[in-house]
């Protein structure tokens, strides 16, 4: 049998884990997955590791009894604590993958990890991960979701408006407050075309903005942003005459960064 690390690297998403589970046992498997998730500094391998661990839990060929033992040993090994430590990791993709997978483990008892991250790291700081965190808390039926959402939906803060628009863009069935897609922030990102409602226009804009943020962070190897970067970057993107461009061109993002922040990304890494 291959090592667990090799199994992760070779994983083809076939959801066949029974042989691995029987060979290693729930306790050893959970302990090794926890060690790998906690110790790796490679964002891609971290994402593979927690995906592998998640797929065992939610879509595999294990029996219900096996799955209960697996979940119990993950918790005993501190796997979810290891994931929680990545919620404020400097790398944006690591943070995003952690938020997503906390939700996809589909265990309500994991909601407090996201509640803590939302309160201490994302809220009023990062609209992209705030919206994703809220989505996963909704899925996990967090006891605090309604309070968070009521506070955000009444806020006039620009980052909260972007957060809300991103949230609504993936929850099309939810009706926003009557005045949510009105006001100065809509004027800031540009009035909608005649064939679009204010909501449709805002959702298209924030979806392009979100893709740009992720691609820019990846191409320029940026640390995860806070309000200090998001606020001016939102305003910069809104000031552009043409529709926000999402392109996989490093030079394009380098110019955007320099124009927005008045310095080259290389100035920070020199």
Q: What is the pLDDT of residues 113-132, one digit of tens each?
A: 999 999 999 999 999 999 99
Q: Measure the CA–CA gap between 210 and 233, rounded to whole angstroms.
A: 11
Residue 270 pLDDT greater than 70, yes or no: no
Please indicate, yes or no, if residue 61 is contained in any of the structural domains: yes
69, 85, 101 — which closes off a domain? Answer: 85
Mean pLDDT of 54-76: 93
Q: Are residues 54 and 145 in the same domain?
A: no
Please indicate, yes or no, if residue 103 is contained in any of the structural domains: no
85, 118, 141 — which closes off a domain? Answer: 85
Total domains, the chain: 2
Q: Are residues 149 and 241 in the same domain?
A: yes
Q: Are residues 230 and 136 in the same domain?
A: yes
Q: Are residues 68 and 167 in the same domain?
A: no
pLDDT for 265 equals 66
**What confidence category does residue 50 fall into, taking pLDDT thresholds of 50, 70 and 90?**
very high
pLDDT for 76 equals 97
Residue 241 pLDDT greater than 60, yes or no: no
Q: Are residues 128 and 261 in the same domain?
A: yes
Q: Which helix (DSSP H) or strand (DSSP E) does residue 110 occupy?
A: none
- Tell me the pLDDT of the chain averaged across its residues: 91
Q: Measure the CA–CA gap between 270 and 254, rounded to whole angstroms.
A: 15
Please indicate, yes or no, if residue 54 is contained in any of the structural domains: yes
Please indicate, yes or no, if residue 122 is contained in any of the structural domains: yes
Share of the chain above pLDDT 70, in %: 94
Q: Which of 64-73, 98-107, 114-123, 200-209 shows the lowest mean pLDDT across its residues? A: 200-209
Q: Are residues 130 and 223 in the same domain?
A: yes
Q: Measure the CA–CA gap between 238 and 190, rounded to whole angstroms.
A: 7
Q: Are residues 27 and 118 in the same domain?
A: no
Sequence-distant contacts of 120-126: CB under 8 A, at least 24 apart = 120/88, 121/87, 121/88, 123/148, 124/157, 124/159, 124/160, 124/227, 125/159, 125/226, 125/227, 125/230, 126/159, 126/224, 126/225, 126/226, 126/227, 126/230
Please indicate, yes or no, if residue 97 is contained in any of the structural domains: no
Q: Measure the CA–CA gap between 56 and 54, rounded to whole angstroms.
A: 5
Mean pLDDT of 90-119: 97
53, 85, 117 — which closes off a domain? Answer: 85
Containing structural domain, residue 151? 109-270
Q: Are residues 174 and 140 in the same domain?
A: yes
**What confidence category does residue 176 fall into, taking pLDDT thresholds of 50, 70 and 90?**
confident
Q: Are residues 118 and 212 in the same domain?
A: yes
Q: Are residues 248 and 166 in the same domain?
A: yes
Please indicate, yes or no, if residue 95 is contained in any of the structural domains: no
| 70: nearest Cα among 83, 57, 58, 79 | 57
pLDDT for 246 equals 65
Mean pLDDT of 141-152: 95
Q: Are residues 133 and 66 in the same domain?
A: no
Q: What is the pLDDT of residues 1-22, one digit of tens each?
A: 799 999 999 999 888 899 999 9
Q: What is the pLDDT of residues 191-230, one digit of tens each?
A: 666 788 888 888 989 999 999 999 999 999 999 999 999 9
Q: Are residues 145 and 227 in the same domain?
A: yes
Q: Measure the CA–CA gap between 103 and 137, rounded to whole angstroms.
A: 7
């Amino acid at each position: 049998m291959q090592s667990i690390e090799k199994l992760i690297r070779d994983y083809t998403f076939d959801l066949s884990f029974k042989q691995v589970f029987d060979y290693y046992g729930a306790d050893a498997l959970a302990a090794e997955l926890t060690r790998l998730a906690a110790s790796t500094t490679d964002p891609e391998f971290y994402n593979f590791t927690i995906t592998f661990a998640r797929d065992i839990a939610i879509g595999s060929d294990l029996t219900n009894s096996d799955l209960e033992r697996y979940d119990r040993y993950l918790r005993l090994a501190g796997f979810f604590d290891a994931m929680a430590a990545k919620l404020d990791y400097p790398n944006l993709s690591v943070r995003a993958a952690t938020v997503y997978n906390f939700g996809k483990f589909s265990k309500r008892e994991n909601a407090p990890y996201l509640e803590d991250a939302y309160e201490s790291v994302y809220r009023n700081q990062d609209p992209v991960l705030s919206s994703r965190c809220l989505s996963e808390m909704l899925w996990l039926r967090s006891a605090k979701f309604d309070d968070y959402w009521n506070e955000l939906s009444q806020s006039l803060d620009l980052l909260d408006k972007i957060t809300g628009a991103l949230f609504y863009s993936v929850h099309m069935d939810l009706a926003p407050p009557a005045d949510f897609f009105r006001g100065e922030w809509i004027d800031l990102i540009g009035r909608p075309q005649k064939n679009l409602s204010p909501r449709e226009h805002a959702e298209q804009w924030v979806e392009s903005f979100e893709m740009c943020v992720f691609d820019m962070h990846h191409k320029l190897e940026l640390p995860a942003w806070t309000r200090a970067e998001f606020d001016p970057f939102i305003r910069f993107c809104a000031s552009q005459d043409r529709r926000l461009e999402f392109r996989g061109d490093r030079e394009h993002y380098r110019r955007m960064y320099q124009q927005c922040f008045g310095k080259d990304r290389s100035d920070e890494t020199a």
